[in-house]
């Protein structure tokens, strides 16, 4: 075999090896969960909307190969970008869930209704996508009187029109320490202080509307004045 032919074969082999190294597996969205949450500060009557979106991503090259996640509303020409610096990652039943709880408009106005795309792209540019739909009914059904309320004195009293309520307890840095499923009525503050080794500083109440699939969040309130 001549030197020229050997050189050509070496180039071909090298090119094939290069392609093999560059060709990674395609990321796959196994499941997608999303929810609209409406947030009202403790002393306010106004509220704003945040979108929570998480996707379970499978990638044979590993979750570290995921580069970016886009949440896109094509009709409104709006999109949000999540990367490893901004997304939250959770491992549930050996599945890698990636997303965010705080997709919102910069001016705190309502998110546009309609179809959204969740687009997952890996470092090789391979991608997968899923869609979901935000209806106008979800947004228009919310009013100030629907939000749960907390009355705090020697105890904590919940007033909520929804049966599914969770008390969120935070420390100084607003990191969640504990979550309590509670019904209308009172809970003693000493229980919370004991459970958190007196680190509890703030609380919020989260109520879930199972008919619309939306959440209502009121707070945070200082737990110890």
CATH code at 101?
Answer: 2.60.40
Spatial separation of the C-alpha atoms in residues 145 and 130, rounded to whole Å: 35
pLDDT tens by residue, 134-187: 999 988 888 888 999 999 888 899 999 999 999 999 999 999 999 999 988 888
Q: Which residues pair with 1 in a beta bridge?
A: none
Q: Is the pLDDT of residue 2 over 60?
A: no
In the chain, which residue ranges form alpha helices assigned H by DSSP? Answer: 3-22, 136-140, 189-195
State how far the alpha carbon of 159 is from the alpha carbons of 40, 55, 146, in Å.
15, 33, 10
- Whether residue 89 lies inside any domain: the answer is yes
Domain identity same for 51 and 150: no
Q: Is the pLDDT of residue 1 over 70?
A: no
Structural domains in the chain (count): 2
Q: What is the domain extent for residue 161?
A: 144-222
112's tokens: 């546009």
125's torsion region: left (phi>0), alpha (psi -120 to 50) or beta?
Answer: left
At which of 124, 140, 156 does a domain end? 140
pLDDT tens by residue, 45-84: 899 999 999 999 987 777 788 999 999 999 999 999 999 9
């Amino acid at each position: 075999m001549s030197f020229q032919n050997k050189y050509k074969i070496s180039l071909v082999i090298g090119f094939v090896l290069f392609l093999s190294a560059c060709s990674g597996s395609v990321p796959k969205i196994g499941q997608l969960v999303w929810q609209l949450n409406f947030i009202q500060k403790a002393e306010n009557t106004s509220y704003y909307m945040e979108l929570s979106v998480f996707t379970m991503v499978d990638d044979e090259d590993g979750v570290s190969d995921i580069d970016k996640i886009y949440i896109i509303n094509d009709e409104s020409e709006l999109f949000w970008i999540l990367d490893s610096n901004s997304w939250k990652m959770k491992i549930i039943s050996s599945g890698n869930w990636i997303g965010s709880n705080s997709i919102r408009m910069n001016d705190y106005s309502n998110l546009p209704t309609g179809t959204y795309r969740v687009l997952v792209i890996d470092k090789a540019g391979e991608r997968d996508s899923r869609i979901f739909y935000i209806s106008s009914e979800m947004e228009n059904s919310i009013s100030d009187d629907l939000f749960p309320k907390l009355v705090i004195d020697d105890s904590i009293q919940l007033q909520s029109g929804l049966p599914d309520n969770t008390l969120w307890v935070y420390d100084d840095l607003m990191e969640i320490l504990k979550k309590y499923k509670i019904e209308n009525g009172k809970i003693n503050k000493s229980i919370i202080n004991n459970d958190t080794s007196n680190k509890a500083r703030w609380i919020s109440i989260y109520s879930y509307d199972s008919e619309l699939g939306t959440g209502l969040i009121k707070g945070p309130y200082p737990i110890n004045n």
